[in-house]
Structure 1
Amino acid sequence: MAGPGSENSEKDTVSGCLLSASVAAVIDAALASGDSAGIDTVARYARQAHPEAATEIDRRVAVWRRKQVSASKQDAEAETRSTVATKPLEEAAHSSVQAAVKWAGEGEVGAFTSSGNAPGIGFVGSAKLVLEGKNWRIESSGRIDYQETANVVTRDQYRFSAEPNIKFSKRGYMFGLGQYEKDRFQGFISRYSLSGGLGYYLFSRPDAKVNLKAGPAWRRTTGTRGEKERILAGLASLDVNVKLTSALRFTQDASVYVDARGSTIYTLAALDTKLLGKLNARFSYMVQHETEPEPGSLATDATSRLTLVYGF
């Protein structure tokens, strides 16, 4: 038989409560694991086995939960402080990148009427993209004019260009220009032009920009009969962009290539009017004149266009 001391040993208490040291050790081990589901399971069975210690078991579990809530709250506050501290830096970095590089562009699609080598009605599509940094700018553009009459192609004109430039003063800049053209009705199936030189803004305001540029050029032309020509030339161009009213804008793009054989004169004038948001209607008139056209080709082509333009 067990003596009186044995019964007292089985009912040793912790902190004066009816919770034996062995049960307290099991509860503490469960709490130390941090497993909430496991703690609930251990506490439930401990209460069933030792109902006289249920109050102490619940107290210990409640203390542990309060500590967990407090720790989670402190972690959340620390994360919030960290986010608040780093957000201005992230916004500043993002703003710096945005300020460093700006970009804009437009897409154009519509119909045209033409006279000259390819009279009739057709369709036109074009796109332009401009990237601009603090002291540099890259502009690329492309245009396609295509027309068929009675299943016969009567116009098949392509023009693509890319122009990087670097500013050396508030108004002055150096530029390079690469251009590809195809227009068999003007007498060539391909014409590549490379040029570079200096440019200068006569006006440079948000509502009015006028700039001139000029420099030497090199051109390689492949005619419709397969003949090839490489020649040095000079390039001069004028670009005008004027905001006439809040809803009306005028642009003019004119250029001339001059070489020992002849000259190419190109001009495109356009009037844009706002329709809705970034959608504009554009009426434009383009003239291209070759002083020495290929045999069988007219010297001048003129094209009127009515198009829709979306800026982005």
Structure 2
Amino acid sequence: MNKFLLALVAFGCVASMSHAEDGASGWTGEGSLSAGFTTGNTETKDLGLGLKLNKEAGVWTYGLEAAADYGEIDGLESKNRLFAGLNVDRAINDKLFGFGRVSHERDEFTGFESRSFVGGGLGYHIYDGDKVKWTVRGGPGLKIDEVRAYDTVDVNNLPVTVPAETVNSFGAVAGSEYSYTFNDNVSFSNTTGVLYAKESTQLTNSAALTAALTSKISARVSFDVRHDTDPPIGFESTDTATRVSLVYAF
């Protein structure tokens, strides 16, 4: 699955760039590449690939998102995350819409082998102007958590290995997508997501400032926060990432 998702991101980025000019597919979106490298007391390397695709067909809107992040500190792997998600929206009127969502995530540096969600609900376009766009959505679904095995101690202070398990539970998804266009070249966006489940609730937020360099290429600075309300023992609850990216729009 890891190799499949990574291939999906890479293929999507290449395919979108190669077909951007003719627009024959009807898909629009962006591909992004972020990289970082520091030297000194520690050496760190970070690489990120991202793909977002959208297609409108009458009252239907299809949205695909995929991402891959990899990092090393002093030659040791410190980040390895793959994500893919699909939204299908169906307009009810100018403001209100229904949606279905499927997502899957694998992250080598959390207490979860994988996390998946299948669900749907309703969304609402609060603002849809030239400068300000703001959409919210939410609804129920099924969340599937593959929890890793981990080592701990029992009441007698003896080492115990807690086996891996699969937890299926009622879940709910909620999201907010906000953007503000300052002018033709500079824009700000803030995307917030909540994925609730009994095992653990995930909260994410990504704030980004994007500046156009050419008609197709932009530079982006973003700050991401990811929080788990109840991570397994030995894992941090909050991760943050500051990124500088090149973005190709089509």
Q: TM-score, normalised by structure 1?
A: 0.63
Q: Distance in 1 between matches of 2:101 and 2:121?
A: 9
Using CA pairs under 8 Å that are at least 6 residues apart, name the structure with larger relative contact order, 1 or 2: 2
Query: Partner residue of 1:124?
Result: 48
Q: Which runs of 5 or more residues in structure 2 are unaligned?
A: 1-22, 38-42, 150-163
Residue of structure 2 aligned with 1:270, choices 199, 208, 213: 208
Residue of structure 1 aligned with 2:173, choices 235, 239, 248: 235
The structural deviation recorded for 1:141 is 0.9
Q: Which runs of 5 or more residues in structure 1 are unaligned?
A: 1-97, 114-118
Of the two, which has the highest radius of gyration?
1
Structure 1 residues 180-232: Cα deviation after superposition (integer angstroms, max 9, x where no partner): 11112121121111120000000012332101111002111112223211111
The answer to whether the 8 A contact 1:112-1:304 is kept is: no
The answer to whether the 8 A contact 1:112-1:303 is kept is: no
Query: Alpha carbons of 1:166 and 1:112: their partners in 2 closer, same or farther (altered >3 Å)?
Result: farther
Identity %: 25
Query: Alpha carbons of 1:230 and 1:262: their partners in 2 closer, same or farther (altered >3 Å)?
Result: same
Q: Distance in 2 between matches of 1:178 and 1:136?
A: 16
Query: Partner residue of 2:9?
Result: none
Alignment of 1:37-76 (within 5 A): none
Alignment of 1:1-312 (within 5 A): 102-112=26-36, 120-225=44-149, 226-312=164-250
Structure 1 residues 34-82: Cα deviation after superposition (integer angstroms, max 9, x where no partner): xxxxxxxxxxxxxxxxxxxxxxxxxxxxxxxxxxxxxxxxxxxxxxxxx
The structural deviation recorded for 1:252 is 1.3
CA RMSD of aligned residues (A): 1.8
Query: Partner residue of 2:11?
Result: none
The answer to whether the 8 A contact 2:217-2:248 is kept is: yes
Deviates more, 1:159-168 or 1:101-110: 101-110
The structural deviation recorded for 1:259 is 2.5
Q: Which has the higher strand share?
A: 2
Q: Which has the higher helix share?
A: 1
Q: Distance in 2 between matches of 1:205 and 1:136?
A: 20
Count of equivalent residues? 208
Q: TM-score, normalised by structure 2?
A: 0.79
Q: Aligned with 1:245: secondary structure? A: coil
